[in-house]
Amino acid sequence: MSTTTATEPVYPIDEAMLIPIHPAAAAFPTLGRRDLRELVEDIRVQGLQQPIVLIREGETVYVLDGANRRAACEKAGVEPRFEWYEGSNPEGYVMSANLRRRHMTPGQRAACAAKVLTTRANSASQSAIALDVNVSQSAVSHAFIVNEDDPDLLQQVIDGKVTLGAAYDTVRRRKEGRPISDPIPIAPSDERATSSPLAIAVRAALTVIGTDDPVTAGMRATDEEVPTTDLLKVRDFFVATISARS
């Protein structure tokens, strides 16, 4: 049975694993295998340094922050520690906690903001959100549009399977009644290097091979915060290389 002290809740690990994840926290992808292994080893050696944060909404208790730490504690055989969230903005807390410590592309950050906040924000709110998550306002706007039209596609952006630019282009073409194809997938990887500036530029360039539409190239460059000229240079390099080998 769980118990609650004046300052912190106490759950044995078997009960702790049954606590549902708060919807705002569920918008963020779980750690990859490598990062989870590293977290398990760190907790096994050092113990759990940061408590898992719980929130009570009505009669339900949720994990607001620390689902990965909870999973790592189970694998490490360490009893987790908990604390209650005492603020008034759980969504904002989740955004701040996750975006501060995760390796995410600008497109993923914008997509997570749209997923957590769920409803379409006005332009003033989008500007504030963009500042909060350190991305362009257009990226936030595109993420909200994709979420409204195709939440599953936005989840693919969050999971790192497609870029925000590719997802937005698919939605835009669908709305305009233009031919669409599946967004070019990003090869799954457990490497942190996938969020490096060079990797982002290359990934964005790959999505515009085969198009000379400057609007499409510009949108994808903006969504991934890559200068359009750099994106087109990388694209042209790929095209020239492919042509030379054909």
Tell me the pLDDT tens digit for each residue of 86-109: 998 898 899 888 876 667 888 888
- Helix (H) or strand (E) holding 82, with range, is strand 82-84
The sign of the dihedral angle between the CA atoms of 155, 157, 161, 166 is positive
- Whether the pLDDT of residue 56 is over 60: the answer is yes
- The model's confidence at residue 77, banded by pLDDT at 50, 70 and 90, is very high
pTM of the model: 0.63
CB 69 within 8 A of CB 52: yes
Tens of pLDDT along 139-187? Answer: 899 999 999 999 999 999 988 888 898 899 889 888 888 776 665 555 4
- The model's confidence at residue 198, banded by pLDDT at 50, 70 and 90, is low
Residues 6+ apart with CB under 8 A from 149: 171, 174, 175
- Whether the pLDDT of residue 79 is over 80: the answer is yes
Tens of pLDDT along 36-52? Answer: 999 999 999 999 999 99
CB 53 within 8 A of CB 83: yes
CB 25 within 8 A of CB 94: yes
Give Rg (Cα) of the chain. 20
Mean confidence (pLDDT) of the chain: 78
The one-letter amino acid at 67:
A
What token pair was written down for 28?
């963020």
